[in-house]
Amino acid sequence: MTLDALAGKTGLSRATLSRIEKNEVSPTAETLGRLATVYALPISQLLAPLEQSFQPIVRRLDQPVWTDATQEFERRNVSPPSGQLSVEMIEGTLGAQQRIAYDAPAIPGQEHHLYVLSGQIEITVEGKAHDLRQGDCLRYILFGETVFKTTHLPCTYVIALS
């Protein structure tokens, strides 16, 4: 796909896409969401598309971490990488008073289970807000916009995607 075509599908400028492609800038969480939607891939496959042979264990120190410093967001791929298996676990930490909005899911109809490890977060799925605190779990299926918004506390959570 050309940069012009990708720009048209994502709403991002050709210059921005070129700078990301050349690794001159790191994309934001929303930008990754737009790219994942266009390619119909989980964000984890955009971040680490080349998979080595399947290893059933990945130690914490070896788990890929991506950071969006502008939103105090850290995304850790907890699951061992595998294109053949259907469940993936992601650990996220979002700083206090932050907001990340994904316009559309990368894979429509994908099921998520979000479990809050610490802090508080409001998850809005297709216009319906859910206030979650430590120990709460939200199960949802993605078809439209999703918004993650923290209060005065940062939040750490795990998402299981299937």
Which residue shows structure tokens 């650990």? Answer: 91
- pLDDT value at residue 51: 53
- pLDDT value at residue 52: 59
- pLDDT value at residue 25: 85
**What is this structure's pTM?**
0.75
- pLDDT value at residue 44: 72
Q: How many domains does the chain have?
A: 1
- pLDDT value at residue 33: 85
Q: Are 91 and 158 in contact (CB under 8 A)?
A: yes
CATH code at 39? 2.60.120.10
Sign of the dihedral through C-alpha 58, 60, 61, 67: positive
- pLDDT value at residue 95: 97
Mean pLDDT, consecutive 10-residue stretches, the chain (162 aa), reads 87 88 85 86 69 78 92 93 80 97 91 97 96 98 95 96 90
Q: What domain range is 7 assigned to? A: 3-161
